[in-house]
């Protein structure tokens, strides 16, 4: 490890990399692939997307994950260290409180029909018509565990958001049949707040819902960055969003997560994490997009 340069990983990420015997190797990998700017390939990629996944943190310190849609081009990069998000804040999106000038956010660009995904984390600046994201970290991810889906535009017909006291049958059914979720997490480090949002996928039903509403999520072998789980080791707050891809509904959850390192009881998992929601929001028809499995 080169002590003259800051590590691309924080203490939580390094702890998990150390637990699998890859700390030094991942230090070398991270210095190559985690950049403070977006390569041109990523800049072009974001500009063709019809939606993005965003992670934010509200004033209470709760993490939220959300999806925002727009005509391709609503994300664009005027230069490698800036990504412009040409959207106004949606009124009933619980993630909106964390989308403010100077706030740290994470953004995931993902094409479900090609299984490509790239991530960019940084801080927001409010500008006319939306935000500019000043890039702190930019990196790509592999296509593992992404269900292939083709998208089409749909009328924007959002219903009023519903704040729920507990998961009901509708919410449990969506979670219990999901092959995809997105999770926002964050850690406060000496270098400042780092917010991340990432994709998790598996066979339909890979997330288990307990009688008390606790979710158990398997952690399958991946790129060993451990961005999400590293954040959860340092700070257990997380935000999850499940998507009804056929209807455009969003189920947004914010709560507390715990990493279980010594229990991989679910098939194929190396470890688990458990999530207990404290705040639950259902947003029917929130997305003007629909997807079908290929």
Q: pTM here?
A: 0.95
pLDDT by residue (tens digit) across 169-179?
999 999 999 99
CB 179 within 8 A of CB 115: no
**Does residue 4 lie in a domain region?**
no
The single residue listed with the structure tokens 């702890």 is 15
Low-confidence residues of the chain: pLDDT under 70: 1-5, 89-90, 263-265
**Does residue 54 lie in a domain region?**
yes
- Token readout for 30 is 């991270």
Give how many domains the chain has, as a whole number: 1
Q: What is the pLDDT of residue 90?
A: 64
Measured CA to CA, the distance from residue 196 to residue 183 in angstroms comes to 8
Q: What is the pLDDT of residue 1?
A: 46
Measured CA to CA, the distance from residue 240 to residue 280 in angstroms comes to 10
Q: What is the pLDDT of residue 4?
A: 56
Smallest Cα–Cα separation from 180: which of 138, 143, 231, 225? Answer: 143
Smallest Cα–Cα separation from 250: which of 164, 124, 147, 165? Answer: 164
List alpha helices for 90-178, DSSP H.
Answer: 169-177
CA–CA distance from 5 to each of 29, 95, 219 (Å)?
14, 34, 30
Check residue 174 and report its DSSP letter.
H
We report the CATH number of the domain holding residue 227 as: 2.30.110.10
Q: Cα angle at 155 between 154 and 159, to 5 degrees?
A: 115
Q: Which residues contact 275 (CB under 8 A, 6 or more apart)?
A: 214, 215, 217, 238, 240, 253, 255, 256, 257
CA–CA distance from 245 to each of 22, 70, 142, 147, 173 (Å)?
37, 16, 22, 11, 14
Q: Angle at which helices 11-19 and 23-33 pack, to 10 degrees?
A: 130
Q: What is the pLDDT of residue 263?
A: 62
**Does residue 253 lie in a domain region?**
yes
**Does residue 119 lie in a domain region?**
yes
Smallest Cα–Cα separation from 246: which of 285, 218, 197? Answer: 285
Measured CA to CA, the distance from residue 114 to residue 294 in angstroms comes to 11
- In which domain, by residue range, is 177 found? 11-293
Measured CA to CA, the distance from residue 27 to residue 29 in angstroms comes to 6
**Does residue 223 lie in a domain region?**
yes
């Amino acid at each position: 490890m080169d002590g003259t340069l800051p590590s691309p990983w924080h203490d939580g990420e390094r702890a998990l990399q150390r637990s699998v015997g890859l700390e030094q190797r991942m230090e070398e990998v991270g210095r190559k692939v985690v950049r403070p700017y977006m390569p041109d390939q990523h800049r072009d990629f974001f500009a063709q997307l019809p939606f993005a996944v965003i992670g934010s943190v509200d004033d209470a310190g709760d993490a939220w994950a959300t999806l925002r849609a727009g005509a391709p081009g609503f994300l664009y990069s005027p230069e490698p260290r800036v990504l412009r998000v040409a959207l106004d804040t949606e009124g009933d999106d619980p993630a909106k409180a964390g989308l403010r000038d100077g706030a740290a956010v994470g953004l995931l660009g993902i094409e479900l029909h090609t299984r490509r995904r790239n991530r960019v984390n940084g801080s927001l600046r409010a500008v006319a018509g939306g935000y500019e994201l000043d890039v702190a970290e930019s990196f790509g991810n592999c296509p593992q565990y992404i269900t292939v889906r083709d998208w089409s535009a749909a009328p924007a017909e959002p219903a009023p958001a519903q704040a729920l006291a507990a998961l009901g049958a509708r919410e449990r059914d969506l979670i219990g049949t999901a092959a995809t979720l997105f999770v926002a997490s964050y850690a406060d480090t000496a270098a400042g707040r780092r917010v991340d949002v990432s994709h998790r996928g598996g066979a339909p039903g890979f997330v288990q819902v307990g009688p008390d509403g606790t979710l158990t999520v398997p952690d399958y072998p991946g790129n060993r960055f451990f961005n999400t789980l590293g954040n959860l080791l340092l700070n257990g707050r997380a935000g999850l969003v499940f998507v009804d891809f056929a209807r455009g509904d969003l189920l947004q959850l914010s709560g507390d997560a715990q990493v279980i390192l010594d229990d991989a009881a679910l098939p194929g998992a190396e470890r688990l994490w458990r999530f207990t929601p404290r705040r639950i929001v259902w947003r029917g028809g929130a997305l003007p997009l629909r997807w079908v499995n290929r």
